[in-house]
Amino acid sequence: MKNENIRNIAIIAHVDHGKTTLVDALLRQSHVFRENEQVSERVMDSGDIEKERGITILSKNTSVMYNGIKINIVDTPGHADFGGEVERVLKMVDGVLLLVDAFEGPMPQTREVLKKSLSLNLKPIVVINKIDRPGANPLKVVDQVLELFIELNANDEQLDFPVIYASAKNGIAKMNLEDESDNITCIFDTIIKEINPPACEQDGPMQLLISNIDYDDYLGRIGVGRVERGTVNTGMTVAVCKKDDKIVQGKIAKLFTYEGLKRTETETVGAGDIVCISGISDINIGETICDANHPEKIDFVDIDEPTVSMTFSVNNGPFAGKEGQFVTSRHIRDRLFKEL
C-alpha cells in the first residue's frame, strides 16, 4: 500500500554546485514564504560553519506542497567525509535529485553519494544547473553523467533518468534547452511523476526507524525518521528496540513534521511521512520505535566509523582561568555532548 500524497527525495550535489540555491527556489515557488517575509540566502545551510564555507555538513529536512502532494526534501552532505550521515539520510527517501554544474560536470564527491543511492535502488532525476554560466556545456555534462552511471553499475531503469536543465539562481528550469521558461514547476512535476510514493503499510502496528538526531534546548534529543507502518500519535506509549536487541518502554511527548523549513507540531503522523519525535531522552540512530505490543526491529546499515578522535583534558598551563567566558571544562563537556 502506497501513500500517494507524499514523495520523499534526497538532493545530491558536489560542494558549490547550487544545491542550497535550488532548494531556495523550490521553497519560494511553492509559496512557503509569505510575500513580505524576509528570507536569508541559502536557507538550508543554517549552521555557522556551513554559512562560512558554503558547504552542507548536517543533513536537514524541508518540505513543499505542490498540487496537494507533500514533497519531503532531504539535504545530503556534499563531502565524502560525511559518509555515515549520507547512508542514514538515504534510508528515508525513495529517490534522489542529482544536481550537476553545467560547466564542471560530475565531481568526485557526488560520485560517493550517488554510488550509495544507486546501490539502494533509488530512482534518480538529473538536474543540470547553472546553464547560464559562461562556458557551460550542458549536453556534454549529460554524457559525462551517463558515463558515471554506467561506471557505478546502474541498472537499466536507473540509466533511463529524466534530465532537467536549470538556473537555480534565476529560478528557472526546463526539460529541453531550447524551451522558454520563467519557473521551475517542471522539477515538481518530474518528482511527482518519476519518484515512487513511499511503500508503507497505512494500517498495522506502528513502526518507525530513527535515521537522524536533532537537538532542541527545550525538548532535548529529537529523533528524526520515516514512519514505515501504521500511525504515530502524541502521547502514545511505545517500545524502543535498541541496537543490542534490548527493548525498553518510552512515551512520545511531542510530534513534529516539516512544513517548509519549520518544524510544525502535530498530533498524528501516518506511514510514509518524515517525522520528528521528542520525549525519549536516550534515543539513538538506528533504533526502531514500535507499537508497545508489537516490538519489531528494522535492520539498519552500520555507519562508517568517525575518522578523528580527540581527548579533552583540564588546562594545566600557566594561563589557565585567566580569560574566556566559560573557563570550566564542565561547560565544554556539556557542549560536546550536545553536539554528539
- Which helix (H) or strand (E) is 256 found in, with range? strand 254-259
**Looking at 162, 194, 226, which one is the last position of a domain?**
194
Same domain, 88 and 224: no
**What is the rounded distance in angstroms from the CA atom of residue 88 to the CA atom of residue 265?**
23
Same domain, 254 and 276: yes
Same domain, 56 and 34: yes
Residue 54 is predicted with a pLDDT of 42
**Looking at 161, 194, 227, which one is the last position of a domain?**
194
Q: Give how far the C-alpha of residue 182 lies from the chain's centroid of Cα atoms, to the nearest Å.
A: 27
**Looking at 194, 220, 238, which one is the last position of a domain?**
194
Same domain, 155 and 232: no
Q: Are strands 6-13 and 69-75 parallel, antiparallel or unpaired?
A: parallel
Same domain, 117 and 163: yes
Query: Looking at residue 177, what DSSP letter applies?
Result: T
Same domain, 40 and 164: yes
Give the residue from 106, 181, 184, 190 showing the smallest Cα distance to 150. Answer: 106
What share of the chain has pLDDT > 70, as a percent? 80
Give the mean model confidence (pLDDT) for residues 94-122: 81
Same domain, 244 and 95: no
- Which helix (H) or strand (E) is 148 found in, with range? helix 138-151
Does residue 325 lie within any of the structural domains?
A: no
Does residue 327 lie within any of the structural domains?
A: no
Does residue 145 lie within any of the structural domains?
A: yes
Same domain, 36 and 177: yes
As a whole number, the mean pLDDT across the chain is: 76
Same domain, 109 and 189: yes
Does residue 329 lie within any of the structural domains?
A: no
Kindly report, residue by residue over 139-189, the tens digit of the pLDDT.
888 888 888 888 888 888 888 888 888 887 888 888 887 878 788 888 888
Residue 15 is predicted with a pLDDT of 64
Specify which residues 173 forms β-bridges with.
166
Same domain, 187 and 240: no
Query: Domain range holding 211?
Result: 207-291
Kindly report, residue by residue over 278-330, the tens digit of the pLDDT.
888 788 888 888 887 877 777 766 665 666 777 777 777 787 777 766 556 77
Does residue 324 lie within any of the structural domains?
A: no
- Give the CATH number for residue 18: 3.40.50.300
Same domain, 142 and 233: no
Q: How many H helices and E strands in the chain? A: 8, 17
Q: Listing from the earlier edge strand, what are the strands of the sheet with 163-167? A: 61-66, 69-75, 6-13, 95-101, 123-129, 163-167, 172-174
Q: How many domains does the chain have?
A: 2
Indicate if the pLDDT at residue 78 is higher than 60.
no
Kindly report, residue by residue over 205-223, the tens digit of the pLDDT.
888 888 877 777 788 888 8
- Give the CATH number for residue 243: 2.40.30.10
Does residue 199 lie within any of the structural domains?
A: no
Same domain, 187 and 114: yes
Does residue 321 lie within any of the structural domains?
A: no
Does residue 303 lie within any of the structural domains?
A: no
pLDDT band for position 60 (50/70/90)? low
Residue with cell 527556489: 25
Specify which residues 289 forms β-bridges with.
208, 240
End-to-end CA distance of the chain: 37
Distances (CA, A) of 229 to 65, 101, 204: 22, 38, 6
- Which helix (H) or strand (E) is 83 found in, with range? helix 83-90
